[in-house]
Amino acid sequence: MLKILYRDEDYIVVHKPVNLLVHRSYRAADKIFLLQTLRNQIGQQVYPVHRLDRPTSGVICFALHSEAAREFSEQLQARQVKKTYWAILRGYCDLSGQIDHPVKTETGKQKQAAITDYRLLATASFPIACRKYPTSRYSLVEFSPQTGRYHQLRQHAAHISHHIIGDTMHGKGEHNRIFRENFGLSRLLLIAKQLEFYQYRQQQNILVETELESEFAAFIQRAEWQYLE
Handedness of CA 21, 26, 32, 37 (dihedral sign): positive
For 44, half-sphere exposure in the C-beta direction (CA atoms, 13 angstrom radius) is 12
The rounded distance, in Å, linking the Cα atoms of 105 and 77 is: 18
Q: State which amino acid sits at residue 198.
A: Y
Q: State which amino acid sits at residue 170.
A: H
| Cβ(212)–Cβ(220) below 8 Å | yes
Spell 158-175 as b/e; 16+ CB within 10 A means b.
Answer: bbbebbbbbbeebbbeeb
Q: How many helices (H) and strands (E) are present in the chain, helices listed first?
A: 5, 13
Please give the helix or strand (H or E) that residue 221 lies within, else none: helix 214-222
| Cβ(12)–Cβ(208) below 8 Å | no
The rounded distance, in Å, linking the Cα atoms of 143 and 106 is: 21
Residues involved in catalysis? 53
